[in-house]
Structure 1
Amino acid sequence: MHEYIPTVVLVIGLFAGIWLNRRDFSKLKADTNRQFGDTKSEMNRQFDAVNKRLDRADSRLDRIEARLDRVDADLREFYGSGKQLEGRVNELSARIK
C-alpha cells in the first residue's frame, strides 16, 4: 500500500496542474478576446473618423469643382463675346476705310 502513495500523489498533482493550467488558459483566452474586441472597436472608431474627414474633403472638392465650372462658363462666354466684338470692330473698321 505504501508503495502506491507516491504514485497517487504524483497523479493527483498532475491532474491538479492540468486543471489549473486549463483554468489559466481559459482566463488567457478571455483576456485575449477582450483585447481583440477593444482593438477592433478602437480601429472602427478611427476608421469612422477618417471616413468623416474624407467625406468633408469630398464635399469641399465638389464645391470647388462647381465653382471652377462656373468660372469656365463665364470665361467661355467672355471670350465668345470678345470674338463677336472683334468681328464687329473689324467690320466697322472696314466700313470706315
Structure 2
Amino acid sequence: MIKSELVQKLSELNPHLYQRDVEILVNAILDEITDALRRGDRVELRGFGTFSIKAREARQGRNPRTGEKVPVSSKVVPYFKSGKEMRDRLNAKPGAARRA
C-alpha cells in the first residue's frame, strides 16, 4: 500500500472527513515519526510496531558492473520492528477468530 492508497482508504472509512484533511493528518503523523527518528528518538505505536534508527559503519563495497571496490560511507538507516499484536494477526490461522 502506498501513501495515496492509505489516504483513500482512511477517507472511505471516515466519510465525515474530507480527503484533503485525511492527507494532512497522514503527512503530519509521518513527519512527526521522521522528526523523532532524526532526533535519535524511538517511536512506538502499540499493537503496530516500533521505529528506530541503526548506524551502519563505513565499509568497502563493490561496483556490481565492474567489480571495482568503492568506499561506502557510514550512515544512519531507519529500522522497523513489528509489534506482537501485528505479528499475531499476520500469522493467524485461516478461520481463527480475529481480535478487534
TM-score scaled by structure 1? 0.24
Structure holding more strand per residue: 2
Structure holding more helix per residue: 1
In terms of Rg, which structure is larger? Answer: 1
Q: Which has the higher contact order (CA 8 A, sep 6+)?
A: 2
